[in-house]
Amino acid sequence: MNTAASPTDVRKLQEVLSNHLYTLNQVYELKRRLRNCRELSEESRRLLDRPLERIEEHLSGSLYLPEGPPNGCGLIIDDPQGESYDECRTDLEAEFVGEGDGPLMVVEVVRPVIRLVVQGQTWVVQRGRVVVALKAEQEKGAAS
């Protein structure tokens, strides 16, 4: 039995992935803006966040490979905001701000990491784009 995907199947998968990635990036951006919007009441924020969560959940479990397993596979958004950063991370493209040596952390997420999950295994399908700074500088700024 030949399990290799045909070029047509690969093109279909690339098109579906591209559409899903675009939508997930838009959902992430809307959620980020909601978090940062100071003018919204908590109730308004919840009312707007709920549909975005539903879209994200739908996309996370609705990606089906051509002639793949009936349970398909899904995409998940991985937000690295506030995580430690080192140059060995292959899932992030980083821009450094500030100077000095020491532990680094992600201070801003320009684009999230998106992972493809198939039967418990994960692959990065979109590297995140982040801004990193010295952890000590961020902790000093937060304490002020």
CA distances from 131 to 3, 21, 41, 81 (A): 41, 21, 29, 9
Sequence ranges of the domains in the chain: 7-143
**What angle in degrees, to the nearest 10, is found between the helix axes of 7-36 and 42-61?**
170
Selection from 3, 30, 21, 11 nearest residue 63 by Cα? 21
- Distance of alpha carbon 64 from the chain centroid: 19
pLDDT at position 66, please? 47
pTM (two decimals): 0.74
- pLDDT, one tens digit per residue, over 64-117 is 544 444 455 778 889 999 999 999 999 999 999 988 888 999 999 999 999 888
